[in-house]
Structure 1
Amino acid sequence: MQIEDSEILKKFAQENTRDEAFRLLLNKYQQKVYWHIRRMVISHDDTDDLVQDVFLKVWKSLSNFRNDSQLYTWLYRIATNESITFLKRKKIRNSVSIDDDDGKNMVKKLAESPYFDGDKAQMKLQKALLTLPEKQRLVFNMKYFDDLKYEDISEILGTSVGALKASFHIAVKKIEQLLLNTD
């Protein structure tokens, strides 16, 4: 049985059940956050580091959570911002575009990763995704893989629903073209 977010927040607000609440939050969201980040940064090791950073930030900030959004959209916003910041820092450090010359370095990382266990079709899809600009890839991942509603993505990214629908549509068309033009 999955615990409700309101129950987690109630437990977190009490000093004597705060650790239990955080464990419940981790059990409920850690895997989702991991995959959300992983689809953005590709590297398993970088993802593990970012997941730790995200949940450390959540631990420090959860008592200030205002309940004006859903808990999972707040978590996704933190994970998204941490991932984008990481990619920007990496870009500066390596003088490489976040979009990474059509994703060539990230595709190479993905292909060499011992943690990627997908089949040939999944690899083709991931390679196609890595050619998308960062925002289109992010919107596609959140809609397609995380099955989030446009309204939730809008809340996470601070973008209008209309713009998100357009980004998703363009991303889908680009992916279709790439998949049709590859062997």
Structure 2
Amino acid sequence: MPDDRLVGDARIGNRAAFEELVRRYHSKLTHAIRSRVSCRMTVDDIVQDAWIKAFQNLTQLRVDGNFYYWLLRIAMNSRRTYFQNGKESDWTDPQLPQVCQPQSSQPEAVAERNEDCQRVRHALMNLDEGHRRILVLRDYEQQGYREISETLSIKVGTVRSRLHRARSQLRNQLKSSSTS
């Protein structure tokens, strides 16, 4: 059953339809958030929050909207809110297992990592929407070419060529930002 039909059924109270959406996208969403957050417990909190918000706001998804892309945006907003509210202090709690400690807490390493992330984010934002979206789908959400093809309603060959152009543009953006 297509996502839009499941969303429609979930909107009118069909619990099984929403459960099917969760089955389809939970691990994919978790993987996407895990690539941005190192603590597994924090990932679980963010993903759970995203699912709750998605359920509560199903009526706000456009009828022709891509459910997973919408869900990912909710999760990314939940992630941002999580860290803005100071919950990241959990990372430094000595009672938490080592897996929840930052990879390097040295101020220089943290500053360098933050600077690199900002450069990439800035370069991504300077790309046109089509190139940015295809990069996000492939490199951040780890979607395969066929899945991207279906998401964007384009041929697999077109996905490959656009991805090549997008990476090339991103590389150029990063080179120009490092020389400025």
Query: What is the one-letter code of the residue matched to 2:42?
Result: D
Once the 2 structures are TM-superposed, how far is the Cα of residue 8 of structure 1 from its aligned partner? 0.8
CA distance in 2, matches of 1:168, 1:106: 27
CA RMSD of aligned residues (A): 4.0
Cα separation, partners in 2 of 1:137 and 1:87, compared to 1, 3 Å? farther
CA distance in 1, matches of 2:169, 2:119: 8
Residues 1:82 and 2:85 aligned together: no
Q: Which residue of 2 aligns with 1:144?
A: 139
Paired residues of 2:54 and 2:71 also in contact (CA < 8 A)? yes
Which of 169, 172, 175 is equivalent to 2:171? 169
The two structures have a TM-score, normalised by structure 2, of 0.55
CA distance in 1, matches of 2:169, 2:117: 10
CA distance in 1, matches of 2:2, 2:103: 38
Provide, for residues 28-49 of structure 1, a one-character-per-residue CA deviation record: whole Å limited to 9, x for no partner: 1111111111111111000001
Cα separation, partners in 2 of 1:142 and 1:169, compared to 1, 3 Å? farther
Which of 63, 70, 76 is equivalent to 2:59? 63
Equivalenced residue count is 130
CA distance in 1, matches of 2:73, 2:32: 11
Structure 2 unmatched ranges of 5 or more = 91-100, 106-111, 125-134, 153-165, 176-180
Paired residues of 2:50 and 2:74 also in contact (CA < 8 A)? yes
CA distance in 2, matches of 1:134, 1:62: 32
Structure 1 unmatched ranges of 5 or more = 95-104, 110-127, 153-163, 174-183
The two structures have a TM-score, normalised by structure 1, of 0.54
Residues 1:132 and 2:116 aligned together: yes
